[in-house]
Structure 1
Amino acid sequence: MTPRFFVWTGQELVETPDVPAHEGVLVADSWLVADGGVRALQLHRDRFLRGVASQTTIDSFTAESFWQAAVDELPRTGEWFPRVDALQTGGETTLALRLRPAPTLGASVRVASLDDGDPRVVTTVKGPDIERLGALKSEAAQNDVDEPIIVSAAGHVVDGATSAVLWWRGDRLFAPSASLRRVDSVTAKSIRLLASATGTDTGEEFATPADLAGCEVWVVNALHGIRVVTSWSNGPTLGRTHGRAAAWQRRLDALVRPLP
């Protein structure tokens, strides 16, 4: 399976040989599609449309029409990791769909804190920083790090470069304080909703990497779901409860629904 690319003409999606030349990504969203099933598609839709409304002048009807056409284009067989974009192309905005085969999924991840502070420019919208963070992730991979971790100026864990961060203190599930500005993670939100539905205590806190010593730490996103952090380069030694991540991944997978 090879990637395919489509642009929105205002009436329909038209396939192109490659991603349109652009000066930047204004908004982006992506999710895993496996044999026509997807988790929390409505939440991805809502996040993308909010981003388009805040970052572009595209009207809601156009954005919603593009979204529906993109969903209609998705294959109902195989594993895919599609991405929808609002791209800055000259003085205009182009809506585009990247239909990409899904990469190999994993259940564990190696992390390291970013040394040079928070690299993000737009902290609450997925898109404007996606290429910058992707480059940092590729650079980190050369040092056997799968996911760089963003920390605040005060040293508190905020987010992963392409994921959200959650952690366990005993039987209580924590997320970074909501006052630490970050993209609204669909997967982290889904896990916290599952926690609420199952009577699991949750909380938010300010935590430095050192504060997470002994905790089980998860890096979560729409592609992999839950990955357990197995090493934190120059960081804390972490704990792990056998079978917990796998059990919660099964709960997360139970949210998969067929594409409309």
Structure 2
Amino acid sequence: MAVHDSFLVRAGRVLALDAHISRMAAAIGWERGRVGSEYAELLLAVEAERDSEEHAGTADRVPEEHAGTADRVPEAPGWFFPLVTFDDGALAFQLRPFEPHALRTDASLWTCAEPDTRTAPTLKGPDFPLQHHWRAQAQRAGADEAVLVDRDGFVREGAFSSIVHWRAGALCVAATQERLPSVTEAAVTRAVQADGIPVTRCDARVDEIRSADEVWILSSLHGIRVVHTWDGKPVPAQGRARRYRERLLAMERAASAWLADLEGGTAGGSGGPMMTNRDRLGKEAAG
């Protein structure tokens, strides 16, 4: 049974890497230090690739569709969407370079006709075939993401996203435990609470959420996307997303800073093995 993790590296910066490490460690039963050592290898590979891009003369630029807009997304060397996979007792990763112009700030939703039948909803990976099937159905219906509901009609999450909504000045998140612990949702929740805004957990059906003040889907790739239609019906929006996109950007840290933490043992790593990995990679590059 393969377990996956993925996160955006935006121009060499990463959001909440420690939370990704903790989630993977809990999923596969490894100590955080051991998982952190593997993630340090990934960051070293990202940094090496970024250096090669910079030396090749890749220029910083801003995609046309974001130029002069409130949600401006700068493009620079070092954009990746790595995939981390645990299978057959080992962790491996793919760097997967990413084009910033593919980032989205809005989305449309489609509700699955059948209830959620995943066998491991709290893990990322084992039920991917089902999730891809549901998302393909959503796309055939003209939507971006599929919404998964339980047998009582309560919304759990998107096929590959968390779903939150705003009502009466509070951020509402799904109460169910039958869903993936979302790193992005946790980061958004912290930012909202830091503003003194309440965060509530509640079970809600599609009609209840669709009539909220604003609905977001959250993922480690796109961050916050504002839902504009759901099953073909318009969804209200009040313009809250811009502030919290900026807050998430401010929470990102340079890959080099995460590496320093991992090597110092402050983000779940043990210093010795990771320092050895860095030295070994440096020697290989020099050779």
Tell me if both proteins adopt one fold, taking TM over 0.5 as the criterion: yes
Q: Give 1 or 2 for the bigger CA radius of gyration.
A: 2
Give the direction of change, closer, same or farther, for the CA distance of 1:73–1:116 in structure 2 (3 Å limit): same
More strand by share: 1
Structure 1 stretches of 5 or more lacking a match? Answer: 1-23
Following superposition, the deviation at residue 153 of structure 1 comes to 1.0
User: RMSD value over aligned CA atoms?
Assistant: 1.8
The equivalent of 2:170 in structure 1 is 172
Q: How many residues align?
A: 225
TM (norm. structure 1) is 0.81
The equivalent of 2:108 in structure 1 is 110
Question: Structure 2 counterpart of 1:164, which letter?
Answer: S
Alignment partner of 1:67 is 2:39: yes
Following superposition, the deviation at residue 123 of structure 1 comes to 1.5
The equivalent of 2:121 in structure 1 is 123
Structure 2 stretches of 5 or more lacking a match? Answer: 51-76, 260-287
**The one of 207, 221, 227 aligned to 2:204:** 207
Q: Secondary structure at the match of 1:79?
A: coil
- Which aligned pairs between 1:1-260 and structure 2 lie closer than 5 A? 24-25=1-2, 27-53=3-29, 62-74=34-46, 75-76=49-50, 77-87=77-87, 92-102=88-98, 104-177=102-175, 179-215=176-212, 216-233=214-231, 237-241=234-238, 243-259=239-255, 260=259
Question: Structure 2 counterpart of 1:100, which letter?
Answer: R
Q: Secondary structure at the match of 1:154?
A: coil
Give the direction of change, closer, same or farther, for the CA distance of 1:144–1:96 in structure 2 (3 Å limit): same
Give the direction of change, closer, same or farther, for the CA distance of 1:132–1:198 in structure 2 (3 Å limit): same
Following superposition, the deviation at residue 196 of structure 1 comes to 1.1
Paired residues of 1:212 and 1:238 also in contact (CA < 8 A): no
1:194-217: CA deviations, max 9, x gaps? Answer: 111110111011100011243111
TM (norm. structure 2) is 0.73
Distance 1:159 1:213 in 2: 14
Following superposition, the deviation at residue 59 of structure 1 comes to 6.7
More helix by share: 2
Distance 1:239 1:126 in 2: 30
**Identical positions, percent:** 30
Following superposition, the deviation at residue 180 of structure 1 comes to 3.8
